[in-house]
Every structure is written in C-alpha cells, then in structure tokens.
Amino acid sequence: MKAFATLLERLVLTPSRNRKMEIIRDYCASRPDPYRGYAIGAITGDLKLKSVQPSLLRELMTQRIDAELFRLSYDYVGDLAETVSLLWGPAETAEAPPPLSQVVEMLSSASKSDTPAILSGLLDAMDVSSRYALIKLATGGLRIGVSARLAKQALAEFGNVKIEEIEELWHGLEPPYSSLFAWLDGSGAKPVAAGRAPFRPVMLSNAIEERELEDITPADFLAEWKWDGIRIQLVSDRGKRRIYSRTGEDISPAFPDLVEAMAFEGTFDGELLVRSPLGEPLAIRTFSDLQQRLNRKIVPKGMLSSHPAFARLYDCLLDGENDLREQNLEQRRNALAMIVDRLPPERFDLSPEVSFTSVDDLRDKRANPPHPVIEGLMLKRRQSTYRSGRPRGLWYKWKRDPMVIDAVLMYAQRGHGKRSGYYSDFTFGAWRDGETGMELVPVGKAYFGFTDAELKQLDKYVRKNTTERFGPVRSVAAGMDGGLVLEIAFEGINRSNRHKSGVAMRFPRISQIRWDKPAAEADRLEALEALIGD
C-alpha cells in the first residue's frame, strides 16, 4: 500500500506529463504483479470497488473528533480524503498495513454493514499518505490529473509496444492485468483480444497544411463534412454491443438508446451526435446538447426523448466477421452503404460525400457550410486502407477558420516545467453591464498560441500591472480606462452553467496581443453569446 500511496502522491504533485509517464513506468518496473495491475486499474478507473460514500467518512470522523474542529479543518484543507487522512490520528497498530491487493480484496468483498469497521481498521493501520490513497480508492475516482489514456501510453512505453495494441486489448482484460504485464515484460505471449465486441484502434486525421491542398483532387480524395460531435466506434458482436470513444473508452452506458438500435454485426466508425426528438424531422443539435448526455451513469428518461442519440457513420472496419481494414476506402464505404440501408434511419445514416470540382470549390464550401454544427471538412484518400494511428497523407481535416473575439486580460497564473518563473496561463474577460457600470466577466483561459518572445512580453506586462496576488495567481489591472486586449481564437462556444459568464469556449488560444487596442473596445459578452450555434 505504501508504494501505491507514494505513486499517487508523486503523480498529484508532478506537473509534467512526460514525468508522470516516467513515474508510472518506474512503478510498473519496480512493483510485481498483482500490485502494479491494481494500481493501473485504479488510475484508469477500471478497478471497480464497492464505493464508500463521503457521508460514511464524515460519520467515522465525528466519532473521533469534535464536529466543529472537523468542520474547521475540512474548510481549511478543502479535500475530504486529505482532511480525513490528516485527522485520523497516529497509526494504531504496529503491523504493516495490508498490501494493495489485499486492500482491494477486503473492500470489494465487504458487506455494507461491515464496510465501516473494515475501513476504520485499515485507516488505523496506515500512515497519512496511505490513508489518502485508501480513501481515494474506496470512494472511487482518484482525480489525480492522470487520464486513462496517459496510463496506457505509459504502459506502451514500458513494454515498448504501440499504444494502439494496448487499446485494442484493453476491454478484454481486467485488473490486475497479469497476462498483459507478462507480455509487456517479455515473459509471455501477447494476450488475445478476448471477449466479444473488442475495440479496434482507430485511424486519425492530420490537419491539412496549405501546401498539401495542391494534392487534393476529386479523383484521389473523397470529401465529407466534419461534424462537431464525438468520434465513436460502434461494435456489435454476437449479441454484445458497445460504443467506444476514439481512445477505446467504453461509453455505452451513457447511450442506451443508440445501443438498443445497433441491430447489426460489425464494427463501424462514425460521429456521435444529438438529434431532434424522434418523430420530428431529423435535425442535428449542437455539441453542448451532446455534452449533456456525456459522462452520465444513468440517463434520465426525459433526456432520452428530448436529446436522442444519433450516429452518422463513415467507415466500416468489420462487416460481421469479415475484416475490411485491408480494403480501400471506396470498398469499405460501399459495404457500409449497404449496411446502413438496413438500419433504422432515425438513429443512423451514412455521412454523405461532398462533391467538389477543385480546391477552390472546396474552399468555398468550407466557408459556407450548410449547417451550423459543421466544423469543417474531412478529406480522405480514396485508395487508403484503414490504418490505426495518425498516418500521414491519407486523412486530412480542414477545419473552418476559428472564431475570434477581443477580450481583456484579467488574471495570470505561473506556469510549470519549462515555463516556471513565467506567467503563462491567462484568464480573460468580456464586458457586460454590472451594477455600477460596465464590468468584466471571465470567459475563458488560454495558455498557448503565443511565441516565446510574446510570452516574455506578457510576463513582463503581468508583473508591471499586478493589482493583487494570491498564491501563484496575479490579478492584472483591467478596466474601462486601461488593460491589455488579447485576440482569442477558439473552435466553438457552448452554454455552460458551471461558468459565471454562462459560456464555455472550446480550445481557446491567444491569436494576437492587441497592444494597440483600448480595453474599453474589447468585445461584450453578448457578442460571444451570439456565436452560440443553437
């Protein structure tokens, strides 16, 4: 348990992505089975334990400490797992705490009535950082800033294999992944993608560059609209149906309506979208409507009818058991077209081909898409076979020009790693009418888009114009009579209840520093709201 606790502690405190991977690799190299597998499962979220509710922890705490002192402490620390681990008191038993595998065993087999006593016993035997790890494990959801994808990437590097190979295997495997580690260690054969409905590593596109446009001809390339949804893979295999994200995460539970409609045998790629209620004519809804359906364990009934899921299909990897990945795109699309014909049209359609005569024609179409939820064009080489990863020269995305607004710099935060010592994360705001005149409301945060030289200028500006500091963050002077205007480019904008401004930008970045522009002339919040596509 101690090693796992140290692993979590280091992952929490390490800002660099590469170093996080290094830490996970080292852990896998130094810890034997089954510990490393359980640790990986905990990080990827695949290790499912009976979840302990926060209320149980609070209850256990009030038996040990005055409720008011607990409240003051929790207020101060801000994280329940950390507060409890610090307040529990000195380790009471002389024996070493049980190892991770045994902890997992104890927690997953405990009955509801035994759980409090088991949890208390474990907490008694542990030091502070092990308790923190235990509580994170028992309450589910580590939230330590490491994605499942990053963990898999670290495994790939650890075993010197491609991440796609790991993703393809992942869903047939379970913690502690002994067969996977045997293969990665070099002491065992590659596990067979066991289980039905496995994920197949997906083919990804590259952003097209201006000079590459010369090669685009109607004879060699097929064009499709790029819809602003979520790239998915739909797999239906002898009664087992799954919807995967493009990294192989199983997102089926959030889309039971679509799963139910998957009356086919095969593996298809497509775009997940939300449509108009069934019965009404098909209309594609915005990304923010789709977002409401994501990350839900249980979908409310009302949402199934108000926000039905829809899949726009564009590739066929397997038709039944027939693997088409070595065939070219045209052949695969022909097969797909025949299959889609038999599928319920209210849930599936075929992503239509956009015909064009020349690049200029395409340029024109891209600038005037027929639907607001289109974010650009996909250009795919007709002769390309299906290749996982991001092979060059086969699939291109050609996104619509980003949206742009002028915003005012409000806060800056210090960066990490290479950017330590620089203020490199910038929060910017737009104007709105406040109680006492115009006020700025934060609308987003950007930490890229500028050059190293511009970073130095921004850093200098922040230091010179600081009005307040709190920890690593500085407030920067910003008002009608002064402030720095930043031109912000972004890919889309949604409504958001989580943000004070009510809007959330996608992929905002600083496209230009407008040293010349008076802050009072920056955009108003209404200008942003007008860009929302619904």
Partner 1 sequence: MRPDALLHPAPQGLYCPPGDFYIDPVRPVERALITHGHADHARAGHGAVMATQRTLDIMAIRYGDEFAGSVHPARFGETTNVNGASVTFHPAGHVLGSAQIAVEKNGTRIVVSGDYKRRPDPTAEHFELAKCDVFITEATFGLPVFNHPDAATEIGKLLSSLDQFPDRTHLVGAYALGKAQRVIRLLRDSGYDRPIHIHGSLQRLCDYYRLEGIELGDLRPATLAEGAKNAGRDFAGEIVLGPPSAFNSPWVRRFSDPLIAFASGWMQVRQRAKQRGVELPLVISDHCDWNELTASIRDTGAAEVWVTHGREEGLVRWCELNQIRAKPLNIVGYEDENE
Helix axes 80-87, 54-62, angle to 10 degrees: 30
Q: Compare residues 16 and 51 and give the one whose CB is closer to partner 1.
A: 16
Among 132, 199, 221, 255, interactor with partner 1 by CB under 8 A: 132
Give the C-alpha separation, 64 to 60, whole Å.
7
> Locate tokens 């348990």: which residue?
1
79 binds partner 1 (CB under 8 A): yes
Identify residues 471-490 at the interface with partner 1 (CB under 8 A): 471-472
73 binds partner 1 (CB under 8 A): yes
Strand partners, 442: 429
Among 3, 80, 86, 204, interactor with partner 1 by CB under 8 A: 86
Region of 117 on the Ramachandran plot (φ > 0 left; ψ -120 to 50 alpha; else beta) = alpha
Longest C-alpha distance within the chain, in Å?
79
Identify residues 324-343 at the interface with partner 1 (CB under 8 A): none
Q: Compare residues 26 and 33 and give the one whose CB is closer to partner 1.
A: 26
* Alpha-carbon 430 to chain mean position: 27
> Locate tokens 């650890």: which residue?
158
Residues 276-305, one symbol each (x = binds partner 1 by CB under 8 A, - = not), give ------------------------------
14 binds partner 1 (CB under 8 A): yes
Give the C-alpha separation, 454 to 460, whole Å.
10
Supply 527's token pair: 């200008």
Q: Compare residues 1 and 488 and give the one whose CB is closer to partner 1.
A: 1
Nearest CA to 99 among 34, 52, 155? 34
130 binds partner 1 (CB under 8 A): no
- Judged by DSSP in three states, 255 sits in coil
Q: Is the Cβ–Cβ distance between 159 and 184 less than 8 Å? A: yes
Q: Compare residues 13 and 298 and give the one whose CB is closer to partner 1.
A: 13
In the complex, least distance from residue 74 CB atom to partner 1, rounded to whole angstroms? 9
Nearest CA to 26 among 44, 10, 45, 42? 10
Among 78, 186, 281, 345, interactor with partner 1 by CB under 8 A: 78
72 binds partner 1 (CB under 8 A): yes
Nearest CA to 382 among 213, 217, 212? 217
Among 29, 51, 54, 69, interactor with partner 1 by CB under 8 A: 69
Q: Compare residues 393 and 472 and give the one whose CB is closer to partner 1.
A: 472
Residues 399-428, one symbol each (x = binds partner 1 by CB under 8 A, - = not), give ---------------x-x---xxx------
4 binds partner 1 (CB under 8 A): no
In the complex, least distance from residue 12 CB atom to partner 1, rounded to whole angstroms? 6
321 binds partner 1 (CB under 8 A): no
Among 60, 65, 150, 294, interactor with partner 1 by CB under 8 A: 65
Query: Strands 395-399 and 206-207, how do they pair?
Result: parallel
Query: Strands 221-227 and 374-381, how do they pair?
Result: antiparallel
In the complex, least distance from residue 509 CB atom to partner 1, rounded to whole angstroms? 22
Nearest CA to 87 among 96, 77, 95? 77
Give the C-alpha separation, 460 to 271, whole Å.
44
Q: Compare residues 76 and 515 and give the one whose CB is closer to partner 1.
A: 76
In the complex, least distance from residue 281 CB atom to partner 1, rounded to whole angstroms? 50
Q: Which stretch binds partner 1 (CB under 8 A): 79-87, 264-272, 304-312, 334-342?
A: 79-87
Count of positions on this chain that bind partner 1 (CB under 8 A): 28
Q: Is the Cβ–Cβ distance between 196 and 162 less than 8 Å? A: no
Per the document, the length of the chain is: 534
The beta strand positions in 85-220, using DSSP E, are 206-207
Q: Which stretch binds partner 1 (CB under 8 A): 5-13, 154-162, 200-208, 306-314?
A: 5-13
Give the C-alpha separation, 126 to 119, whole Å.
11
464 binds partner 1 (CB under 8 A): no
Q: Compare residues 383 and 467 and give the one whose CB is closer to partner 1.
A: 467
Q: Is 101 exposed, middle or buried (0-12, 13-18, 19+ CB in 10 A)?
A: middle
- The residues that touch partner 1, with contacts defined as CB under 8 A, are 9, 12-15, 65-66, 68-69, 72-73, 76-79, 82-83, 86-87, 90, 132, 414, 416, 420-422, 471-472
